[in-house]
Structure 1
């Protein structure tokens, strides 16, 4: 995994890697990346009868280590009939608390990927949130890690990569979340079928 105390030169390389990935995206990938969080927001609202904040919380709570399609399936089931299996007990507990009325911001780890994922689904126009999942990590460092540990549970490592996306976004004149979503689409589609990815991932 990348060290926490990377040099300014290495940090600059991470920013350039993100910008290169942005420019490598096709117009269609860019269109879908730009629309990703808006589409997720609409889905969250439908699942909860017009309460996208709650829907976003349930989706985020159940997102870890799941493909987006599986994430959505579990969240729908949780909202419709409840969910007692299919995920880690902690994730199931958080989803249940949100469905029962708890504010997601009081339940989810807001400083980490899950919290940022919730923020962007709840409000796709959030100017600061950026989701650093395994694919966002690999885009920034320029290496596909596969199943290796990326150390993203470290707040310092998450913040380092988030800062790189913020800087890349500043140079591109885009929101950090837009840069992350577009490069995520391009990257995941680029490694499809290579054995490093499987189905499209949200985490």
Structure 2
């Protein structure tokens, strides 16, 4: 995906979110660190342009919830925070969770665990820029920018202007491991 394809996908996702939720009332957008945050913010900007109403967008750090890292501790949990770093409530809200790539589903599971530790949302929806398949958990996205079938030897790399200086999604061929 190039910059234009990403922009179009995010605009489409913004419209789909508005349609599915019958507007944006009682919704919050939460991006998983790192790139999910910028996707959530971009969608919030598009929704403001379309609806003329702001929607709260924030960040979620799931580092301590990942199953490939050490056990979480009470001190290591982080609430949803807005751009200013202030935490905000998700209790009884419609949470739209954003990530750049959906692969095995483990990151999303960790994010849902983190969300549930900070309140009980009315519902959680998932938006991703790229869905590459190969799920290990029964998780699916409600909003997908692009389905990108890949082999397990390939990797999807998402670059966003806010971090990488350009917008693009590329497939990278990794070397196979020898037996």
Smaller-chain TM-score range? under 0.3
Provide TM-score, normalisation by structure 1: 0.25
Provide TM-score, normalisation by structure 2: 0.28
Structure number with higher strand proportion:
2
Structure number with higher helix proportion:
1
